[in-house]
């Protein structure tokens, strides 16, 4: 009996004995809010993410606003991008923010030692980023340098962007053309301190965090400044335990977690011409996110049962070999229906764990890793991942509705994965949205959703699907994969019947 109850508590249960996938939607049980910042993004000084991606400069022939591409602004606004992390990533702990403010012709250059060994001219800096976020309607998330920087440097940055009074840094900001403070709330205290951020031990980093956070003053006295600790890689539960045990909770706004869906770090496999074995094991890595979130959350619950400290998955996504002929340090890869599957199942996991997961950042927004946008000079395309995140943005700041899922398996060789994942929410207008993903590469899934606690009379839906798993949007065929009206769902009384094609994402709206 205990074992059965445990299974029912899971967001999905994979049992091959079921002839079809059966889901119970508890539409009358409203749980916590799905924080819109779960749908955040990441912009690192890496490859063509900033230069040529977001930023082309105000003298470019490409239509722009203060140097930022207008087509990118429009696309990200439609995506309802809620939050954007910058300037890294590994780059953050080599970045000295004072090099990127003031007259551009007087800014020093540096070498981007992490990503391609290219020269960084610092033409895109703090003002550019924060004003771009304002243009996008996105909350900025600044990653501070504690690897090669100093406490004073980070404290000065906080003062520069947040203090409206008279001070050395706020006066300098005004001299550089920005009269009012931006009041940035979200601050990362270093990045991947266990690796590129300093190769620190958890115990050492916990002390460094305490020191840096102490001097990051809340200049507007709002109490809203949120310091976020550089958290664990994958299943490093010791790291999370050490931070939660050694950092006072009042100093800790969030703890980060990084997890990429990668085959092997030494042999990542192609982004497009992959086989089913590679697809299956990438999906296995994507679904591992559920276990990672559960186990890191359980550790956090020991020290923070009231869930005041957020779990922030500020790097996630698929990571493959770069496209042939491109700089290996630029991490440029295409984006196929496999990436749509990663996005769909991962966002369902975050939604279902939104009691603890309050923020996340897909890595990365443009031209790097699992991008939502790819550019080539004046051309721009939207990827399958973009379309999934656009379909899912109905969940932003909506109330989570619990679901119990009993799903068929997707089997390859001697291994099996749950074929269908699901999350649901109710928005401020009273509309219920259900997001479904079928990762099975070959089989259609017949899904029955039993509705408990509500009556609906209207149903509509959208689907993202394609003929081949390896399909993608190219600059020659930018609309090969786009969301379409979904007609294979029916509502009879309290029962929804859905026919999901292989490797597809469906979002239903009920009222």
Rounded Cα–Cα distance for residues 315 and 91 (Å):
14
Half-sphere exposure of 336 (CA within 13 A, CB side): 19
Q: Which of 120, 192, 208, 390 is catalytic?
A: 192
Q: Which residues pair with 416 in a beta bridge?
A: 411
Rg (CA), the chain: 23
Beta-carbon contacts of 220 under 8 Å, excluding residues fewer than 6 positions away, are 162, 163, 164, 181, 183
Task: Report whether 437 contacts 342 (CB < 8 A).
Answer: no
Half-sphere exposure of 128 (CA within 13 A, CB side): 26
Q: What's the chain's length in residues?
A: 511
Identify the CA nearest to 315 among candidates 194, 417, 162. 194
Catalytic site includes residue 208: no
Rounded Cα–Cα distance for residues 325 and 359 (Å):
35
| Phi, psi for 338 (deg, rounded to 5) | -60, -40
Q: Collapse the DSSP code of 451 into the 3-class scheme (helix H, G, I; strand E, B; otherwise coil) and give the result.
A: strand
Tokens 């050490």, residue located: 242
**The token pair that represents 45 in the structure block:** 């000084």
Rounded Cα–Cα distance for residues 95 and 144 (Å):
8
Rounded Cα–Cα distance for residues 153 and 280 (Å):
45
Cis peptide before 172 (omega within 30 of 0): no
| Phi, psi for 256 (deg, rounded to 5) | -80, 165
Catalytic site includes residue 192: yes
- What's the DSSP call for residue 397? T
DSSP string, 413-435: TTEEEESEEEEEEE-TTS-EEEE
Q: Which of 120, 139, 208, 315 is catalytic?
A: 315
Beta strands of 132-185 (E only): which ranges?
139-144
CA dihedral sign of residues 240, 242, 243, 248: positive
Q: CB atoms < 10 A from the CB of 482, how many?
A: 15
Query: Can you say whether residue 317 is alpha, beta or left, with left for phi > 0 and alpha for psi between -120 and 50 degrees?
Result: left
Tokens 């002839």, residue located: 19
Q: Which residues pair with 82 in a beta bridge?
A: none
Rounded Cα–Cα distance for residues 83 and 36 (Å):
8
The H-or-E segment that residue 9 falls in is helix 2-9
**The token pair that represents 485 in the structure block:** 């009206």
3-state secondary structure 41-53: EECCCCCCCCECC
> Active-site residue numbers?
192, 315
């Amino acid at each position: 009996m205990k074992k059965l109850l445990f299974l029912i508590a899971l967001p999905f249960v994979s049992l091959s004995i079921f002839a079809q996938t059966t889901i119970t939607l508890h539409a009358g049980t409203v749980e916590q809010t799905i924080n819109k910042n779960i749908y955040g993004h990441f912009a690192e000084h890496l490859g063509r993410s900033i230069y040529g991606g977001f930023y082309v400069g105000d003298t470019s022939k490409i239509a722009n606003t203060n140097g930022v591409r207008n087509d990118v602004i429009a696309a990200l606004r439609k995506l309802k991008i809620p939050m954007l992390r910058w300037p890294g990533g590994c780059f953050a702990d080599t970045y000295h923010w004072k090099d990127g403010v003031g007259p551009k012709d007087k800014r020093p250059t540096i070498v981007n030692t992490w990503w391609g060994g290219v020269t960084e001219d610092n033409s895109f800096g703090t003002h550019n980023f924060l004003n771009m976020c304002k243009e996008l309607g996105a909350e900025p998330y600044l990653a501070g340098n504690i690897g090669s920087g100093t406490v004073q440097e980070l404290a000065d940055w906080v003062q520069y962007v947040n203090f409206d009074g008279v001070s050395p840094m706020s006066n300098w900001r005004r001299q550089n053309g920005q009269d009012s403070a931006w009041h940035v709330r979200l601050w990362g205290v270093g990045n991947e301190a266990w690796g590129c951020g300093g190769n620190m031990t958890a115990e050492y980093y916990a002390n460094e965090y305490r020191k840096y956070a102490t001097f990051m003053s809340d200049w507007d006295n709002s109490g809203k400044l949120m310091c976020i600790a550089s958290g664990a890689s994958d299943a490093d539960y010791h790291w999370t335990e050490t931070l939660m045990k050694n950092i006072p909770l009042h100093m800790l706004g969030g703890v980060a977690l990084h997890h990429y869906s990668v085959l092997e770090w030494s042999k990542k496999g192609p982004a497009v011409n992959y086989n089913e074995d590679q697809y299956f094991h990438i999906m296995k890595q994507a679904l591992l996110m559920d276990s990672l979130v559960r186990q890191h959350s359980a550790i956090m619950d020991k020290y923070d049962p009231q869930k005041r400290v957020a779990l922030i998955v500020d790097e996630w996504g698929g990571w493959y070999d770069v496209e042939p002929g491109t700089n290996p340090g630029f991490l440029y890869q295409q984006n196929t229906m496999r990436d749509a599957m990663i996005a769909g199942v991962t966002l369902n996991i975050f939604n279902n764990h939104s009691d603890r997961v309050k923020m996340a950042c897909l890595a990365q927004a443009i031209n790097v890793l699992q991008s939502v946008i790819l550019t080539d000079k004046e051309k721009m395309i939207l990827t399958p991942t973009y379309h999934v995140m656009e379909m899912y943005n109905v969940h932003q700041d909506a109330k989570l509705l619990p679901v119990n899922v009993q799903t068929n398996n997707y089997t390859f060789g001697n291994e099996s994965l749950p074929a269908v994942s699901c999350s649901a929410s109710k928005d401020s207008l009273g509309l219920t949205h259900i997001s479904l993903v079928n990762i099975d590469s070959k089989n259609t899934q017949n899904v029955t959703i039993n509705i408990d606690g509500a009556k609906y009379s209207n149903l509509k839906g959208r689907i993202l699907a394609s003929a081949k798993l390896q399909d993608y949007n190219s600059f020659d065929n930018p609309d090969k994969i786009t969301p379409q009206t979904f007609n294979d769902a029916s509502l009879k009384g309290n029962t929804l019947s859905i026919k999901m094609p292989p490797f597809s994402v469906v979002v239903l709206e009920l009222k």
